């Protein structure tokens, strides 16, 4: 028994190697593996045993390394994903299976999943689905919807064949997949140099509080190892940041008053152990004066509410509106009318990778390596805050462990950049889970009142929609939500007389921002539940009712936009029809004999415009041909797991006319890759895809011109050069004799595409989007009528994707989006101050996600590359209302608030006072 | 950094007497409590002490070492009286947490939603608390005092749980209700144990509900009813008065009224299941 005055040293076996190292001050095995042995395949997602990303085998048994005392590893064996991949044939086989099944999207949960799966497979080589779920139940995944992970584990000995050349329509293995399944992927917190300083942000513990910062010099003096402190005084450029012109309102560091719990007021920078040992904000010299806060939109618009921003009377940040025809008159004339009030809460993105990165100063420039959805927006934001020119800021995106909208906004970037410019050492930071949940954006809570009328023969006649969205303390993407919702509130249906009005209200919560669907999933709940009201009143089958009113080619939208072609929603309903009929009769049969449970089947649909709303949002794609014949694709569309690296490359290769394997990809480093815009608004396949197609076509034309070949000629990349085959003739291109440009390319093609839209007038009339995608889901549920619990039994999802570029990735998007929709419907609600972790904030686990049948509909879009449409956000819009409608079909309970937790379902059934 | 991995009980008790150390076995409560301050508090690791491990038969029943992880309880070959406890063990967090988390830690953490407590209450479990003054044995129901409160005194360690034997033909079960599968904190949970009397009734009945009061509670009035009533007739007689020991709160997981209602449902279902099983047996 000794007091360990000195740093204790341990020895154990790590992936078969004997290692000796120091125990970190946290005592966590995960920190020891990551920091002492650079075993970065052990991921930190929550530091509480809630997410399982840090799963390793300790003497062959899976443990969360974050809650395992490092001391207990002494003399034992630790295995991690990278070790299993390298040394265990089963690990390598499982990696192949993960790739072949598309079981890794962003890849941040993959280490935990694979390690947990190896433990299972060693004991049980051919596990059942139930055994597989039990084994993987401790690892959260936010991207995949788990189904492909289950497949990859159960079919590890029986891999599907790999597919073709990677042409459009095929499912090649994802191009960035190997590092994800092999444990070598570098995410935000994985790349910092050893000598980096650590930065932590000091945040407000109160929703609203005046504050005064005390004696910083004394604080630094009293804490050896703290190098410096940053406050607003250290911001050389703009003190505010944001994402939408006219709404740049979020302070880098709050001044005098903090407007949400988690708002930054200062940052401390210094040696890793010193900084991490601080108890913040308590150890920081600051005095707080808590003030009354407005937490909900009702409180925000109340007459006596504290005013958050001077120029926003009544805390109304912005409003949106679409008016077409005479909705009020149409509702008066309608034969039947349904109306309702609907409510949704904050929803947390809950990617398993908290925000992280590092920055360093290089000459008079700053380089930021961090996870992101929008490298060029980060570049612009950092340049503005630091008062630098754009070319002084270099953003090098790391792999991003999920984003779903929240990594569009800057998080760590400005703090890292400010600090890096003040010191000669690199500076790193990683948000804790709590910090990530407190301070980053959420899905907007909504209060929605809707009224919809129909004629007695079942045609929609009019609709009014009034939506209030809690946008939190700062704008973020709130204006986008306020604009997008009125445009989409009709759903993909013909509603000739329509009025939708929205407003975003500032409150004392973290900013609500972008989250997969920008408010449309919330509005779809209201509209689609009321459609079932109408179908019931009219005694029309819910699917038939929707099909009857579905938008068709040649129709006009509520924005008066003429959709000449590419409208595939009716095709979605038609594809679902046989499944619908079978499921409805199946549950009727089940319910005849059911005792404590009832089953139900629900349907809902959605649509979504791809790209910015009536604003330019070009993407540029650059490609080049080296003298040795190597084709380089500069792919700047941030791949946050959805598959842009593969899909954009497939489109480019198809246009160029070469196999996918001929390409070498260069990533989104802003020094070498042009701006492909942000990964949001389901725009990358359409917008960057079109730019890639144009770049491929341009490079093809330039290559063929070298040998005067016609457009039908075939381009054959060979080792060391390029051959062009035409009518039996072979041209071996003399690339070595051509001059190279500064980038080393003999040919280069830089092409830009911007979707053609037209501005909206004050009634929201115009052409907001060039391309729309369409979706309809069926959900079958079983409700325990005494407990109110809902289990989803299956989903059938029809998606009009225009042209499927990569079926496996498309299915991955659908399944992952549905899992998020299921969470929205049944369990997810972020409550500030209360659910700041992943055990009080629940997202679906592998045990909650049922099988999904994906039906891919191809109604080509005239603008999309090869007819393709976006998919990323469409995938969760119909899910929640389909589940709610299924609960109602099962029990009669009409749910108007999500999540439909067991107590709410029981209350809606009238069984709870 | 102060971290002592005790190799003898005496060493552990001496360190404990030195004051201000956290006792750690699996770590599943210690590390999350650190929040964002990445410094391990002074800790006494008892996981290497043999006497704190294992499930063993004793003369009058059973003994489970406090540092026995849930995984060992799940995998042990145990008689029917433990089926409820084993079912609860399978509902603890996840495989990873079952590997780390221990039965003694679950008790000492004293969460109202501790998965292990309701089945242990139905087993009439007692805890053996050792200190330099010796060992005292306390019924689990007396040891747990409130939310995060126990009767563990300074200088004491929970060494083991002792459980009196029960007839082989007893039935026991556990049911946890949460808002998702895996990694979930209970909205409510029920554990029950009955001894069929061979003629369709029960000669003994223990029913405990968790997550519906500060400490999981036995429903003694209901137990009396189940034992005294003839055959299945007690199902008709169950009413809210049998659940007055519960005082569920409303929180982020569910309302208090909901907890009260589903407690009754879960209990009713479990007893119905026993009636069917008992009839078959």
Enter the DSSP assignment of A534: H
- With CB atoms and an 8 Å threshold, state whether A902 touches B5: no
- Chain B residue with minimal CA distance to A202? B36
Give me the residue label for tokens 């399978």. Answer: B90
What are the distances in angstroms from CA A640 to CA A370, A404, A410?
Answer: 12, 8, 15
Q: Cα(B109)–Cα(A614) distance, rounded to whole angstroms?
A: 56
Cα separation, A532 vs A543, in Å, equals 9
Phi, psi at A486, each rounded to 5°: -60, -35
Beta-sheet pairing, A264-270 with A226-230 = antiparallel
Task: Quote the DSSP letter at residue B209.
Answer: E
Option in B1, B257, B261 nearest A25 (CB): B1
Whole-angstrom distance, CA of residue A411 vs CA of residue A419: 14
Could you identify the residue written with the tokens 């909205």? B187
CA A61 – CA B100 distance, rounded (Å): 10
The residue of chain B with its CA nearest to that of A113 is B96
DSSP string, A41-107: TS--S-SSSSS-TTEEEETTEEEEGGGSBGGGGTTSEEE-HHHHHHH-HHHHHHHHHHHHHT--SS-
Angle at B259 (CA atoms; ends B238, A137), nearest 5 degrees: 120
Which chain B residues have a beta carbon less than 8 Å from that of A902?
Answer: 177, 179, 187, 254, 258, 262
Between helix A89-101 and helix A110-123 the angle, nearest 10°, is 120
A644-656 helix and A689-706 helix, angle to the nearest 10 degrees: 30
Q: Which of A649-653, B37-41, B86-90 has the lowest mean pLDDT?
A: B37-41
pLDDT above 80 (res A98): yes
| A127 contacts A121 by C-beta, under 8 angstroms | yes
Please give the Cα distance from A215 to A205 (Å, whole number). Answer: 20
Q: Using 50, 70 and 90 to split pLDDT, how confident is the model at A163?
A: low
What does the pLDDT read at residue A695?
Answer: 98
The span from the CA of A723 to the CA of A703, in Å, is 10
Report pLDDT for B279: 61
Which residues sit opposite A228 in a β-bridge? A269
Rounded Cα distance, A787 and A790, in Å: 9
Say which DSSP state B29 is in: T
In this complex, do A27 and B43 lie within 8 Å of one another by their Cβ atoms? yes
| Closest residue in chain B to residue A283, using alpha carbons only | B37
- Is B33 an 8 Å CB contact of chain A? no
Percent of chain A with pLDDT over 70: 99
| Number of C-beta neighbours around residue B239 at 10 A | 10
pLDDT above 90 as % of chain B: 91
| SS3 readout for A257-319 | EECCCCCEEEEEEECHHHHHHCCCCCCCCEEEEECCCCCCHHHHHCCCCCCCCCCCHHHEEEE
DSSP helix, strand, coil percent of chain A (3-state; round to 5)? 30, 25, 45
Which residue in chain A has the smallest CA separation from B32? A48
Neighboring chain A residues of B27 at a CB cutoff of 8 Å: 67-69, 72
- Probe site for chain B from A71, A433, A910 (most B CB atoms < 10 A): A71
Take residue A360 and report the two structure tokens written for it: 């360093």
B37: pLDDT confidence band, cut at 50, 70 and 90?
A: confident
B3:A846 CB<8 A:
no
**Backbone torsions φ then ψ of B75, nearest 5 degrees:** -85, -5
Of A66, A137, A280, nearest to B181 by CB-CB distance is A137
Q: Are A348 and A333 in contact (CB under 8 A)?
A: no
The pLDDT of A700-706, averaged and rounded, is: 97
What element of type H or E holds A573? helix A569-593
The DSSP code for A536 is H
Looking at the complex, does the CB of residue A595 fall below 8 Å from at least one CB of chain B?
no
A494 and chain B in contact, CB less than 8 A = no
Mean pLDDT of chain A: 97
Domain ranges in chain B are: 3-164, 171-280
Chain A interface test: which of B34, B48, B95 (most A C-beta within 10 Å): B95
Confidence band of A750 (pLDDT split at 50, 70, 90): very high
Predicted local confidence at residue A1, as pLDDT:
40
Asked if pLDDT for residue A417 goes beyond 90, the answer is: yes
Q: List all residues 6 or more positions away from A617 whose beta carbon is below 8 Å from its beta carbon.
A: A611, A677, A678, A681, A683, A687, A754, A755
Q: What sections of chain B are H helices per DSSP? A: 9-17, 70-75, 83-91, 95-100, 103-109, 117-122, 140-143, 220-228, 234-237, 256-280
- Phi–psi pair at A816, nearest 5 degrees: -70, -40
Out of B45, B180, B185, name the one closest to residue A844 (CB): B180
Percent over 90 (pLDDT), chain A = 98
Residue that has been written with the tokens 């109602």 in this structure: A888
Q: In the structure encoding, which two tokens stand for residue A331, read together?
A: 């509702």
Choose, out of A49, A68, A840, the residue to mutate when testing the contact with B (most B CBs < 10 Å).
A49
B3 vs A: CB within 8 A: yes
Mean pLDDT over A461-470 rounds to 98
At B276 the pLDDT is 87
pLDDT at A69 over 60: yes
Q: Between the CA atoms of B147, B153, B159 and B165, what dihedral angle is there, to the nearest 10 degrees?
A: -70
Tell how many helices (H) and how many strands (E) occur in chain B: 10, 14
Concatenate the DSSP letters of all residues of A818-862 into one string: HHHHHHHHHT--B-TTT--STTTS----TTT---EEEEEE----S
Report pLDDT for A189.
98
CATH 3.30.1330.10 fits B3-164, yes or no: no
CA distances from A848 to A606, A874, B229 (A): 23, 21, 40
| CATH 3.30.365.10 domain residues, chain A | 197-291+355-430, 446-612+762-908, 619-753
Is omega for the bond preceding A281 within 30 degrees of 0, making it cis?
yes
Residue intervals of chain A classified under CATH 3.10.20.30 are 1-167
A265-269 mean pLDDT: 98
* Residue contacts between A and B (CB atoms, under 8 Å): 192
Side-chain-facing half-sphere of B6: CA atoms under 13 Å: 25
Render pLDDT for A29-51 as a digit per residue (tens, 0 to 9).
999 999 999 999 999 999 999 99
Query: What is the model's pLDDT at position A746?
Result: 97
Q: Which residues of A touch B24 (CB under 8 A)?
A: 69
- Considering the four listed CATH numbers 3.10.20.340, 3.20.10.10, 3.30.365.10, 3.30.465.10, the one that applies to the domain covering A446-612+762-908 is 3.30.365.10
Instruction: Assign a CATH topology to domain A1-167.
Output: Ubiquitin-like (UB roll) (3.10.20)
Q: Is A723 noted as a catalytic residue in this protein?
A: no
Cβ–Cβ gap A842/B99 under 8 Å? no
Q: What phi, psi does B240 have (nearest 5°)?
A: -60, -25
The span from the CA of A899 to the CA of A828, in Å, is: 6
| Bridge partners, residue A200, by sequence | A268
Contact call for A27 and B40, based on CB within 8 A = yes
Give domain B171-280's CATH number out of 3.30.390.50, 3.40.50.920, 3.40.50.620, 3.90.226.10.
3.30.390.50
Marked catalytic residue, from A257, A815, A828, A873: A873
Residue A913 Cα, gap to closest chain B Cα (Å): 8
Mean pLDDT, residues A256-275: 98
Give B52 to chain A, closest Cα distance, Å: 16
* pLDDT exceeds cutoff 90 at A729: yes
Q: Do domains B3-164 and B171-280 have the same CATH topology?
A: no
CA distances to A478, A901, A905, B191 from A897, rounded to whole Å, are 21, 9, 10, 32
The residue whose two tokens read 């207990």 is A72
CATH fold for domain A197-291+355-430: Aldehyde Oxidoreductase; domain 4 (3.30.365)
Distance CA A875, CA A251 (A): 34
In chain A, count H helices and then E strands: 23, 33
Residue B229: its pLDDT value, please? Answer: 83
The CATH architecture of the domain made up of A619-753 is: 2-Layer Sandwich (3.30)
Q: Which of A478, A452, A456, A454 is nearest to A342 (CA)?
A: A452
Nearest to A654 by CA among A618, A699, A619, A607: A699
Is the confidence at residue B247, as pLDDT, over 50? Answer: yes
Q: Is the pLDDT of residue A844 over 70?
A: yes
What distance in Å separates the CA atoms of residue A649 and residue A633, rounded to the nearest whole number?
7
Question: Chain B window 161-220: which residues touch A at a Cβ cutoff of 8 Å?
Answer: 177, 179-185, 187
Instruction: Say yes or no for a CB contact (<8 Å) between A61 and B179.
Output: no
Report pLDDT for A56.
98
pLDDT exceeds 50 at position B217: yes
The answer to whether residue B118 scores a pLDDT higher than 70 is yes
Cis check: omega of the bond before A899, within 30 degrees of 0: yes
Q: Does A342 score more than 90 pLDDT?
A: yes
Neighboring chain A residues of B252 at a CB cutoff of 8 Å: 829, 831, 834-835, 840
Residues paired with A697 in a beta bridge: none
* Run of H or E residues at A386: helix A375-386
**Phi, psi dihedral angles at A773 (to 5 degrees):** -115, 160
B3-5 β-sheet, strand order: B3-5, B43-45, B22-24
Query: CB of B279 within 8 Å of any CB in chain A?
Result: no
Distance CA A250, CA A476 (A): 8
Q: How far is B184 from chain A (nearest CA, A)?
A: 7
Q: How buried is residue B235: exposed, middle or buried, by Cβ count under 10 Å (0-12/13-18/19+)?
A: middle
CB-count burial class (<10 Å; 0-12, 13-18, 19+) for B124: middle
b vs e for B155-167, b when ≥16 Cβ sit within 10 Å of the residue's Cβ? bbbbbbbbbeebe
CA distance A34 to chain B (A): 14
Judging contacts by C-beta atoms under 8 Å, the chain B residues touching residue A24 are 38
Residue of B nearest to A68 (CA): B27
Residue A2 has pLDDT above 90, yes or no: no
B14 touches chain A (CB under 8 A): yes
């Amino acid at each position: 028994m000794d007091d360990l005055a000195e740093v204790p040293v341990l020895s154990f076996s790590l992936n078969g190697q004997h290692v000796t190292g120091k125990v970190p001050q946290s005592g966590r095995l995960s920190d020891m593996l990551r920091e002492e042995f650079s075993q970065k395949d052990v991921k930190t997602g929550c530091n509480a045993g809630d997410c399982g990303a840090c799963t390793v085998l300790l003497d062959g048994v899976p443990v969360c390394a974050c809650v395992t005392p490092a001391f207990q590893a002494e003399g034992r064996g630790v295995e991690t994903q990278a070790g299993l991949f390298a040394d265990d044939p089963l690990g390598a086989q499982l990696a192949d299976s993960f790739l072949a099944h598309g079981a890794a999207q962003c890849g941040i949960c993959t280490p935990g999943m694979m390690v947990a799966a190896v433990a299972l497979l060693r004991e049980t080589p051919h596990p059942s689905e139930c055994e597989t779920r039990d084994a993987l139940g401790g690892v959260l995944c936010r991207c995949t919807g788990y189904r492909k992970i289950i497949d990859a584990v159960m079919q590890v000995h029986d891999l599907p064949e790999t597919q073709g050349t990677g042409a459009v329509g095929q499912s090649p293995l994802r191009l960035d997949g190997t590092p994800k399944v092999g444990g070598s992927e570098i995410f935000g917190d994985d790349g910092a140099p050893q000598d980096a300083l650590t930065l932590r942000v000091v945040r407000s513990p109160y929703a609203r509080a005046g504050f005064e910062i005390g004696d910083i010099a004394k604080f630094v003096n009293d804490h050896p190892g703290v190098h410096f402190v940053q406050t607003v005084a250290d911001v050389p450029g703009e003190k505010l940041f944001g994402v939408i012109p006219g709404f740049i309102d979020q302070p880098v560091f709050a001044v005098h008053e903090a407007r949400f719990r988690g708002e930054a007021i200062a940052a401390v920078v210094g040696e890793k152990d010193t900084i991490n040992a601080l108890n913040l904000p308590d150890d920081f010299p600051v005095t707080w004066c808590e003030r009354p806060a407005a937490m909900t939109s009702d409180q925000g618009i109340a007459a006596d509410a504290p005013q958050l921003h001077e120029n926003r009377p009544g805390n109304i940040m912005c409003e949106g509106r679409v008016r077409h025809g005479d909705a009020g008159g149409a509702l008066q004339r309608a034969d039947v009318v349904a109306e309702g009030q609907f409510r949704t809460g904050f929803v947390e993105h809950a990617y398993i990778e908290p925000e992280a990165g590092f920055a360093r100063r290089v000459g008079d420039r700053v380089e930021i390596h961090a996870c992101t959805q929008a490298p060029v927006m980060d570049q612009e934001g950092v340049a503005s805050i630091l008062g630098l020119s754009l070319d002084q800021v270099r953003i090098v995106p790391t792999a991003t462990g999920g984003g779903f909208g929240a990594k569009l906004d800057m998080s760590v970037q400005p703090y890292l950049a400010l600090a890096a410019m003040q010191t000669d050492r690199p500076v790193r930071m990683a948000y804790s889970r709590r910090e990530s949940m407190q301070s980053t954006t959420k899905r907007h809570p909504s209060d929605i009142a809707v009224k919809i009328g129909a004629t007695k023969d079942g045609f929609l006649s009019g609709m009014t929609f009034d939506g209030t969205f809690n946008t939190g303390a700062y704008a973020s993407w709130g204006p986008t939500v306020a604009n997008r919702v009125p445009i989409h509130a009709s759903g993909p249906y013909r509603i000739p007389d329509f009025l939708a009005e929205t407003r975003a209200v500032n409150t004392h919560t973290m900013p609500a921002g972008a989250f997969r669907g920008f408010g449309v999933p919330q509005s779809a709940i209201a509209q689609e539940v009321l459609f079932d009201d109408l179908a019931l009143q009219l005694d029309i089958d819910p699917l038939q009712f929707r099909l009857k009113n579905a938008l068709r080619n040649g129709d006009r939208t509520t924005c008066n936009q003429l959709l000449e072609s590419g409208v595939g929603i009716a095709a979605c309903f038609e594809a679902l029809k046989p499944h619908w009929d079978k499921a409805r009769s199946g549950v009727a049969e089940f319910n005849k004999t059911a005792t404590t449970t009832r089953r139900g089947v629900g349907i809902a649909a959605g649509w979504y415009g791809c790209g910015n709303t009536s604003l330019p949002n070009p993407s540029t794609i650059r490609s080049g041909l080296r003298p040795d014949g190597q084709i380089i694709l500069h792919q700047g569309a941030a791949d946050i797991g959805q598959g842009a690296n593969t899909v954009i490359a497939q489109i480019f290769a198809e246009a160029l006319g070469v196999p996918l394997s001929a390409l070498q990809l260069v990533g989104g480093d802003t020094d070498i890759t042009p701006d492909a815009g942000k990964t949001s608004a389901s725009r990358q396949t359409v917008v960057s895809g079109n730019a890639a197609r144009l770049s491929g076509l341009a490079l093809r034309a330039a290559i063929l011109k070298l040998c005067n070949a016609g457009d039908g000629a075939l381009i054959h990349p060979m080792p060391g050069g390029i051959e062009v085959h035409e009518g039996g003739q072979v041209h071996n291109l003399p690339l070595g004799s051509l001059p190279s440009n500064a980038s080393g390319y003999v040919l280069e093609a830089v092409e830009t595409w911007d979707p053609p839209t037209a501005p909206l007038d004050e009634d929201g009339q115009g052409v907001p989007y060039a391309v729309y995608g369409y979706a309809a889901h069926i959900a079958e549920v079983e409700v325990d009528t005494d407990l109110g619990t809902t289990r989803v039994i299956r989903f059938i999802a029809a998606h009009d994707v225009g042209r499927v570029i990569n079926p496996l990735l498309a299915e991955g998007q659908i399944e992952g989006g549905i899992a998020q929709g299921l969470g929205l419907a049944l369990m997810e609600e972020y409550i500030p101050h209360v659910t700041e972790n992943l055990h009080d904030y629940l997202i679906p686990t592998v045990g909650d996600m049922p099988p999904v049948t994906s039906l891919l509909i191809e109604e080509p879009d005239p603008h999309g590359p090869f007819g393709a449409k976006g998919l990323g956000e469409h995938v969760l819009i119909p899910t929640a209302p389909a589940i709610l409608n299924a609960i109602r079909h099962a029990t009669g309970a009409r749910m108007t608030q999500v999540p439909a937790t067991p107590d709410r379902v029981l209350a809606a059934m009238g069984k709870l006072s | 950094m102060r971290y002592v991995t005790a190799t003898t009980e005496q060493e552990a008790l001496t360190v404990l007497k030195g004051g201000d150390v956290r006792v750690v076995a699996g770590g599943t409560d210690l590390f999350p409590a650190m929040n964002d301050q990445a410094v391990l508090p002074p800790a006494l690791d008892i996981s290497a002490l043999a006497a704190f491990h294992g499930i063993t038969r004793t003369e009058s029943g059973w003994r489970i070492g406090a540092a026995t992880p849930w995984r060992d309880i799940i995998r042990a070959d145990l008689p029917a009286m433990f089926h409820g406890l084993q079912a609860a063990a399978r509902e603890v967090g996840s495989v990873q947490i079952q590997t780390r988390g221990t039965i003694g830690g679950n008790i000492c953490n004293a969460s109202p939603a501790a998965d292990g407590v309701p089945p242990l209450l139905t087993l009439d479990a007692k805890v053996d608390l050792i200190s330099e003054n010796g060992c005292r044995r306390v019924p689990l129901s007396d040891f747990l005092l409130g939310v995060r409160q126990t009767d563990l005194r300074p200088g004491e360690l929970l060494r083991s749980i002792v459980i009196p034997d029960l007839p082989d033909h007893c039935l026991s079960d556990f049911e946890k209700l949460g808002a998702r599968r895996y990694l979930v904190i209970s909205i409510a949970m029920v554990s029950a144990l009955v001894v069929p009397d061979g003629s369709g009734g029960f000669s003994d009945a223990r029913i405990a509900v968790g997550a519906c009061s500060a400490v999981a509670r036995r429903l003694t009035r209901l137990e009396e009813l189940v034992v005294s009533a003839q055959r299945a007739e007690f199902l008709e007689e169950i009413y809210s008065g049998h659940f007055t020991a519960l005082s569920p709160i409303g929180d982020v997981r569910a309302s208090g009224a909901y907890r009260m209602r589903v407690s009754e449902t879960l209990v009713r279902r479990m007893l119905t299941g026993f009636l069917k099983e008992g009839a078959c047996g």
